[in-house]
Every structure is written in C-alpha cells, then in structure tokens.
Structure 1
Amino acid sequence: MRFKFPMQKVLEHRKVVENLAQKDFQDAVAVLNEFQEKLDKMNQEILEAQARTGSLLQAGGAQGPALSQIHEFLKGQKIRILQQEQKIQEIEKIVEYKREILRQAALEYKIMEKVRENKFEEYKAERKIQDQKENDEQAILRFKKNS
C-alpha cells in the first residue's frame, strides 16, 4: 500500500499560487529597478550639466546663452526628478504589497507541506505497526507448523 496524500491537489494549487506570487513580485521589483535606474541617469545628467557650467565659466567670454540654457535644463530636470521619486515611492508600495502576498502564499504552502509531512509520518507509523503484526502472525504460523 502506497502513501497517498488526500489533499495533494490543494498542495499543488498552493504551490502554483506561490509561484505566481513570486513572478508578480519579481516583475514589480524589475519595474522598481527600471525606475530607479532612470532616476540615477537623471541625477547623472545633472552632474554632467553642472560640470559643463563649470567649464563654461572657466572658459570665460560670452557664455550667457549657454549658461542660461543649462540653468533651464537644471530647473526642469529637478522637477522631473521629483516626479520620478514620487513614482518610485508608489512602486515601492506596490512591491511591498506583492511581497506580503508572496509571504502569505509561501506560508500557506508551507503549512500544507507540513500537514503532508505529518500525514506521511502517521502513514509510516501505521505501516510499521501493520508490518509488525504481519511478521508476528507469520512467526506464530511458523512456530505452529514446526511444533
């Protein structure tokens, strides 16, 4: 007699739910990383613009229009950075929500897995008792046969 877990379908379903939650979480993290990289690029562009400003100031001469253009770029870039940071905060909330869903799905799967392990241990104990009874019975039959 083989061990058959009566709630195997539930266990498999919970594993599928956990896998889907893991995929959703990873997708959300990927989006967060993408937005974070975009923010880093924006910050890098600010540093480059500031470096250009410094080199223009050192060069001297009539650099007014170029400096004005860089100044306007910096103002606009700071606004875009603030908007990007807000988007990142929203995505971080989504990531945390998906992390909680994943944690819950993993917990439910582990609970079901533990139930399966407990049932298997019960099965092994029952099987051991039954095997012992069969061995005892065979020993008694052999003893009677030899007597």
Structure 2
Amino acid sequence: MKFKFPLQKVLEHRKVVENIAQKDFQDAVAVLNEYQTKLDKMRQDILDAQARAGSLLQAGGAQGPALVQIHEFLKGHKIRIQQQEQNIHEIEKIVEAKREILRQAALDYKIMEKTRENQFEEYKAERKIQDQKEMDEQAILRFKGMKES
C-alpha cells in the first residue's frame, strides 16, 4: 500500500499561496528599487547642478541668468526629492506588509509540510511493523510445513 497524504490538496494550495506571496513581494521590492534608483539620480542631478553653478562662479562675468536658472532648478528639484522620499516611505510600508504576508504563507506551508512528514514517518513505522508480522507469519508457516514433512 502506497502512502497517501489526506491533506495533499491543502499542502499544494498553501504552496501556491506561498509562491504568489513571493511574487508579490518581489514585485514590491522591484518597485522600491526603481523608486530608490530614481531618487539617487535626482540627488546626482542636484550635485551636477551645484557643480555647474560653482564652475560658472569660477568663470566670472555675466553669469547671472544662468545662476538664477540653476537656483530655480535646485529649489524645484528639492521639492521633487521630498515627494520621492515620501513615495519611497509608502512603498517601504507596502514591502513590509508583503514581507509579512510571505512569512505567514511560508510558515503555513512549512507547518503542513511537517505534518505530512510526520504522517509519512508514522506510515513507515506501521508498514515496518506490518512487514515484520508478515515475515514472522511466513516463517511460522514454513517451520510448520517443515515439521509436518
């Protein structure tokens, strides 16, 4: 007789739920990384603009309009950076929620998998006992057959 886990469908369902949770988590992390990369680029743009302003100041002369333009860019860009940081903070909350969902799904699957393993071990032990009884019975029958001959 072959081992058949009575809750196999539940085990498979929990594995599917875990896989879906894993994909959702990975998608959320990818979005977070994308937002973080965009923020890093925005910060680099500020450094570049400040470097341009510094080089214009070093050059001297009538650089007023260019410096005003850089100053306006920096003001606006700092506001965009604050908005991006706020977006990142919100995405981090989503990632944490997805991580918790994934952790719970993985835990549920592991519990069911452990139950399956325990039942399989019980099955093997019962099977071993049953096989031993059958071998003992066969040995007794052989011994009786030899005795009667």
Give TM class, smaller chain: over 0.9
Q: Which residue of 1 aligns with 2:20?
A: 20
Cα displacement string for residues 61-94 of structure 1 (whole angstroms, at most 9, x for unaligned residues): 0000000000000000000000000000000000
Q: Which residue of 2 aligns with 1:100?
A: 100
- Structure 2 unaligned segments of length 5 or more: list them: none
- Structure 1 unaligned segments of length 5 or more: list them: none
**Would you say 1:83 and 2:83 are equivalent positions?**
yes
What aligned pairs does 1:64-143 form with structure 2 within 5 A after superposition? 64-143=64-143
Q: How far apart are residue 133 of structure 1 and its match?
A: 0.3
CA distance in 2: counterparts of 1:6 and 1:94, whole angstroms: 36
RMSD: 0.3
**Would you say 1:57 and 2:57 are equivalent positions?**
yes
Q: How far apart are residue 123 of structure 1 and its match?
A: 0.2
Aligned residues: 147
CA distance in 2: counterparts of 1:106 and 1:70, whole angstroms: 51
Cα displacement string for residues 19-75 of structure 1 (whole angstroms, at most 9, x for unaligned residues): 000000000000000000000000000000000001000000000000000000000
CA distance in 2: counterparts of 1:69 and 1:112, whole angstroms: 63
Which TM-score applies when normalising by structure 1?
Answer: 1.00
- The runs of 4+ residues in structure 1 deviating greater than 3 Å are none
CA distance in 1: counterparts of 2:98 and 2:54, whole angstroms: 45
Percent identity, aligned pairs only, is 85
